[in-house]
Amino acid sequence: MKRFEGKVVIVAGAAGKDNMGQCIARRFAGEGASVVVAGRRAEPLDQLASEIGGASRLCEFTRKEDIEALVVFARERYGRVDVGINATGWGLLQPFEDTSEEELQAMMDLQFKGPFQFMQALVKAMKQSPTPGGSIIMISSATATIMLENHAAYMGTKAGTDHVVRCVANEFGHLGIRANSISPGITRTPMSGDALNVPEILRAFEAGYPLGRIGTAEDVAEAALWLASDACFMTGQNLQVNGGLTLRRNPTATEMGDAYARVVADLSA
């Protein structure tokens, strides 16, 4: 029997081709789970759902009604919700002094309010399951702990959500509901764009990894499988799945040189 046969898993943030959410969804489906994938674009979601034998649902993660409808859809279709994973995110690189009010609001809506409301909806569904309990997993970031220049809004909202995870774990553990987060370092995904194809940037980041390589979406998916499994006796924790990066640090803008400055300028344009 596969590890997640009979389990129902929601993965939010799975509309980007081969992004972290899609990789996670494939791994859970491969372990027998019924997976509901969600995001902003119907076509890639429908394709993924067909590939893994699951279901898809459009969800604007900044809208409470969309989040609640997603969780209700999963519960009505499959009868329960066992695991909820949030892999949404926006990798804003913007100098601190230049970060606009609009950018700050968008980041808070996507990376703090959305995850908060997703956890609210999941707790409600997990309390109503035939067997109460479940696993909630937020994809956070090593930069919620260690520094990276021009990334303050992203880092702050990830750190805030990590603390909400602790609150959920503390308040609902007696119902068998576990909540944890996973912190990758820079990872080869669509969010990282072309930055890791720039040799100067890649070398600067690799120097910070004791295990000697940049992480992959597969690394994160494997960690999510364990956190969601019945064998995991962990809650309220932030799992640093980043090859030891947080033992050291990210490179500074000076160390990455003009290449990093060009990436920031391009993304800020």
Residues involved in catalysis = 154
User: Taking the alpha carbons of 241, 244, 246, 252 in that order, is the dihedral positive or negative?
Assistant: negative
In the Cβ-directed half-sphere of 118, how many Cα atoms lie within 13 Å? 34
Residue 141 structure tokens: 């970031």
Q: Give the helix/strand (H/E) hosting 56.
A: strand 55-58
Gyration radius of the chain's alpha carbons: 18
Q: How far is it, in rounded angstroms, from Cα 27 to Cα 199? A: 30
Nearest to 15 by CA among 108, 83, 88, 68: 88
User: Taking the alpha carbons of 234, 124, 144, 264 in that order, is the dihedral positive or negative?
Assistant: positive
Order of strands, sheet of 134-139, starting from the edge strand that comes earlier in the sequence: 55-58, 34-39, 8-12, 83-86, 134-139, 177-182, 238-239
For residues 145 and 189, the answer to whether their CB atoms sit within 8 Å is no
Sequential DSSP letters for 214-232 = -B-HHHHHHHHHHHHSTT-
Using DSSP's 3-state secondary structure scheme, residue 123 falls into: helix
* CB neighbourhood size of 17 (10 A): 10
For residues 221 and 23, the answer to whether their CB atoms sit within 8 Å is yes
